Chain A
Amino acid sequence: DGGITQSPKYLFRKEGQNVTLSCEQNLNHDAMYWYRQDPGQGLRLIYYSQIVNDFQKGDIAEGYSVSREKKESFPLTVTSAQKNPTAFYLCASSSRQGDSGYTFGSGTRLTVV
C-alpha cells in the first residue's frame, strides 16, 4: 500500500544535540512538507519541497534544516540552535501544486530531556 512513513515515533533529544527525523513516501508525490504542532495549537510550516534538490523555508525554519536528494525522502534535522524543539512533527506529501490535498505521516514526538 502507498503511504508516508515517519520514524521514529518518539525521539528524545539532549541539550545541544542535533537529531534527524525521517520521512519516506511511496506515493510518487513531488511535493513534501514538514510541520510542527504544539499542544492545542495548529500546524506551523517549517520547510517544504516541490521538487528534488530544491526546498523553501516555511514560517518557522530557524533552527531546522532539510535535504531533498531523492523524491521519496525528505529528512528534517532539528539542530541545537532550535531552543524549544519539544513538539509533534508531521511530514506530509502531495502533488507538486498541492491541489489534491496532503497525505500525512503518523508523526514524530520529540522531547528534550
Chain B
Amino acid sequence: QKEVEQNSGPLSVPEGAIASLNCTYSDRGSQSFFWYRQYSGKSPELIMSIYSNGDKEDGRFTAQLNKASQYVSLLIRDSQPSDSATYLCAVGHTNAGKSTFGDGTTLTVKP
C-alpha cells in the first residue's frame, strides 16, 4: 500500500462544474496536508495547505481534511479550462522533515 494514494484519473469535467479530487494517506501521525498543481511540462506549485479537520476555502478552491478517515480532498468550484493540470496531494510529518507525495490526478476541464 502506498503511503499517499490518489485516484489516477484522468478526471474530466465540463466548464463551470465542480471538480473533486481525493487523497488518502496511511500515516496517522501526519500533521500537514498540501495540494500542488502541476501544468504539463512545468514544476508543481503549492495551491492549498490544511492542518486541522474541516474545510479551508481559498477563492474557488476548498480543501477538506478528515483525520479520522485519513482522507483529504480538493474541490474546485466553477472549473475553468485553465484548471486543467495534474494535482498532487502531499502529506507531511514533522518528525520526518519531509512530505510524501501521491502520484497525482490529471484533471481536464472541457469548454
User: Which A positions have Cβ atoms within 8 angstroms of B?
Assistant: 31, 33, 41-43, 45, 48, 50, 90, 96-107
Tell me which of B12-20, B41-49, B74-82 binds A: B41-49
Say what secondary structure dominates the interface of chain B: strand
14 residue pairs bridging A and B, Cβ less than 8 Å apart:
A31-B97, A42-B88, A42-B102, A43-B101, A90-B44, A97-B94, A98-B99, A99-B31, A99-B51, A101-B36, A102-B34, A104-B43, A105-B43, A106-B43
Q: Is B103 an interface residue (CB 8 A)?
A: yes
Q: Judging by beta carbons under 8 Å apart, are A33 and B98 in contact?
A: yes
Cβ–Cβ contact A104 & B44, under 8 A? yes
Residue from B36, B42, B49, B88 in contact with A100 in the complex, judged by beta carbons closer than 8 Å: B49
Judge whether A97 and B46 touch: CB under 8 Å.
Answer: no
Q: A42-B104, A90-B44, A104-B44 are in contact. Are A96 and B97 (CB under 8 A)?
A: yes
- Most chain B CB within a 10 A radius of its CB, from A45, A97, A100, A105: A97
A contact face: mostly helix, strand, loop, or mixed: loop
Decide yes or no: A98 and B97 within 8 Å by CB, A90-B43, A104-B43 being known contacts.
yes
Tell me if B62 is interfacial: C-beta within 8 Å of chain A: no
Given contacts A90-B43, A100-B49, A107-B43, whether A45 and B94 have CB atoms under 8 Å apart is no
Given A31-B97, A48-B97, A97-B94, are A106 and B42 also a contact pair (CB < 8 Å)?
Answer: yes
